[in-house]
Amino acid sequence: MRMIFIGPPGAGKGTQAARLVARHGIAHISTGDMLRAAVRAGTDLGREAQRYMSAGELVPDEVIIGMVRERIQEPDCARGFLLDGFPRTLPQAEALDAALSEAGIALDHVLVLEVPDELIVQRITGRRMDPETGEIYHLEFKPPPPEIADRLVHRKDDTEEACRARLEAYHRQTAPIIPFYEARGLVRRVDGVGSLDEVAARIEAALGA
């Protein structure tokens, strides 16, 4: 099973991705992790990426695509993979499509996790972190024990303004890739509202499991 996983920030994609790869025994390819691994390994593409990152610049799409092409041909991807965090834009989707075609690899699914913006804002702005343990709580959905409430912190990227900015970027940059894959009959839309188990069951149903 080879798939791309798409969803807005705060939709619960990370949790469901971890469940998916464990359930199906496929590789979880996060572009952030992939970049760091390539830099640590000192590959040609890793050294090239390091030059951009050291200069505080974004790593160009063609470098990321090259890394993805190398990564998906590694042994742990033989049973399949879940590509998480890439592509984020239509040009990246088009370049990835070309790279996969050249490598003789076809996608099976593009999974789209859908959650209304207002619920995402509610989820994210209610989060609080315990700086001593790193545990994440939610004022409504996972209230903290009263004895630690005073020490919890509200992270800067969990404010409503930051959340809405990330959502706007998702709708402007990433959502346009969905019609690109719909034209290929690959898109599987899943309602991301509900318990972890409910959403996981919908994902399996959408994938035909």
Structural domain count of the chain:
1
Using a pLDDT cut of 70, give the percent of the chain over it.
100
For the stretch 9-52, pLDDT in tens is 989 898 899 999 999 999 999 888 888 888 888 888 888 888 88
For the stretch 69-79, pLDDT in tens is 888 888 999 89
CB 181 within 8 A of CB 187: yes
pLDDT given at position 209 = 53
Model confidence at 82: pLDDT above 90: yes
Taking the model in full, what pTM does it have? 0.84
The CATH number covering residue 10 comes to 3.40.50.300
User: β-strand 127-129 against 136-138: which pairing, if any?
Assistant: antiparallel
Residue 8: helix, strand or coil by DSSP? Answer: coil
pLDDT mean over 139-153: 91
Name, in order, each residue with C-beta under 8 angstroms of 134's C-beta and a sequence gap of 6 or more. none
* Domain enclosing residue 138, as ranges: 2-206
- The separation between the first and the last C-alpha atoms of the chain, rounded to the nearest angstrom, is 11
The Cα–Cα gap between 64 and 45 comes to 8
Confidence band for 156, pLDDT divided at 50, 70 and 90? confident
Catalytic center residues:
13, 88, 127, 155, 166
